[in-house]
């Protein structure tokens, strides 16, 4: 791979992880790793263009049907594709279908860009996600195989010690904090061949005293009431948090820093 390359455009495809939840800006919108990556790339390439087609809650079939052809037609230098994890967290999941749709996405995107980027998504520890871990690892095995066949870069976030640290996850336990997104942007930056700006992005934050038993129980109850039960309700009824929402940045336009 080229060292310190210059790319003129980036298109991000995916779900809430790529949309940027829960990295909130002052105006209430989400930033996230893809925006941070675009800002870095834009600083190296005048006229740099960026699109982010991601919408929270999307399954891999919806990503393929709604985002992949749009992304492929943009002819960007770099396309990032992260999808399928929402499928693995559903009560009923056909992993054969997930692999087939992910394969379809890669086969359509890889020829349309200079570099396709895939990821092994991060995952924190905990009893809720642990039951779905075999599906997640089957998904990541498929990602590795597709990358090898189509010359894609794989950014391994699943194996990064820092990103299993609960302090880098929001209160919903499903989305990264601002520091988590910053570390993901660094990981993709390095995966594309740029000189590291944070060589220690995989290192967890310095140790802090763990919360006491009472504080943990209060946090668990709040999490269950505000996040887990609504999430389970959506899974059981086939609804999504992204129903009716438009893509974050639907057109490939010159990047402008929101700050």
Query: What's the rounded Cα separation, in Å, for the pair 75 and 178?
Result: 30
The pLDDT value recorded for residue 12 is 98
64 pLDDT higher than 70: yes
The pLDDT value recorded for residue 90 is 84
The pLDDT value recorded for residue 245 is 87
Percentage of residues in the chain having pLDDT higher than 70: 81
pLDDT in tens, 9-52: 999 999 999 999 878 888 888 999 999 999 999 999 999 999 99
Question: Could you tell me if 4 and 194 are in contact, meaning their C-beta atoms sit under 8 angstroms apart?
Answer: yes
Average pLDDT over residues 243-258: 87
252 pLDDT higher than 90: yes
Adjacent-strand bridge partners of 86 = none
**Please, which pLDDT band fits residue 169 given cuts at 50, 70 and 90?**
confident
The pLDDT value recorded for residue 130 is 74
The CATH T-level fold of domain 9-207 is Rossmann fold (3.40.50)
Sheet holding 49-52, edge to edge: 153-156, 115-120, 78-82, 9-14, 49-52, 249-254
The pLDDT value recorded for residue 174 is 81
Query: What's the rounded Cα separation, in Å, for the pair 92 and 134?
Result: 14
The pLDDT value recorded for residue 241 is 62
Question: Could you tell me if 165 and 205 are in contact, meaning their C-beta atoms sit under 8 angstroms apart?
Answer: yes
3-state secondary structure the chain: CCCCCCCCEEEEEECHHHHCCCCECCCCCECCHHHHHHHHHHHHCCCCEEEECCCCCCCHHHHHHHHHHHHHHHCCCEEEEECCHHHHCCCCCCHHHHHHHHHHHHHHHHHHCCEEEEEECCCCCCHHHHCCHHHHHHHHHHHHHHHHHHCCEEEECCCCHHHHCHHHECCCCCCECHHHHHHHHHHHHHHCCCCCCCCCCCCCCCCCCCCCHHHHHHHHHHHHHHHHHHHHHHHHHCCCCCCCCCCCEEEEEECCCCC
Adjacent-strand bridge partners of 13 = 81
Its pTM stands at 0.86
**Please, which pLDDT band fits residue 66 given cuts at 50, 70 and 90?**
very high
Q: Mean pLDDT for the chain?
A: 87
Q: Any idea where the domains of the chain sit in the sequence? A: 9-207, 209-240
């Amino acid at each position: 791979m080229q060292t310190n390359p210059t790319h003129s455009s980036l298109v991000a495809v995916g779900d809430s992880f790529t949309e940027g939840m829960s990295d909130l800006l002052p105006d209430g919108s989400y930033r996230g790793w893809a925006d941070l990556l675009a800002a870095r790339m834009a600083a190296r390439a005048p006229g740099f263009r960026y699109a982010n087609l991601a919408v929270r809650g999307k399954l891999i079939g919806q990503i393929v049907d709604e985002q992949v052809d749009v992304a492929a037609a943009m002819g960007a230098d770099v396309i990032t594709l992260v999808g399928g994890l929402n499928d693995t967290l559903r009560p009923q999941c056909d992993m054969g279908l997930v692999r087939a749709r992910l394969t379809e996405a890669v086969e359509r995107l890889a020829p349309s860009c200079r570099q396709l980027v895939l990821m092994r998504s991060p995952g924190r520890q905990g009893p809720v996600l642990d039951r779905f871990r075999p599906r997640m690892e089957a998904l990541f095995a498929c990602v590795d195989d597709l990358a090898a066949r189509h010359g894609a870069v794989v950014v391994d976030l699943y194996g990064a010690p820092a990103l299993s640290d609960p302090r880098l996850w929001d209160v919903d336990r499903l989305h990264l904090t601002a520091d988590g997104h910053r570390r993901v942007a660094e990981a993709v930056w390095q995966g594309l061949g740029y000189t590291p700006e944070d060589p220690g992005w995989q290192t967890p934050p310095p140790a802090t005293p763990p919360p006491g038993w009472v504080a943990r129980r209060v946090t668990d109850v709040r999490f269950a009431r505000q996040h887990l039960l609504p999430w389970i309700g959506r899974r059981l009824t086939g609804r999504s948090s992204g129903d009716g929402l438009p893509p974050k940045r639907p057109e490939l336009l010159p990047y402008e820093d929101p700050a």
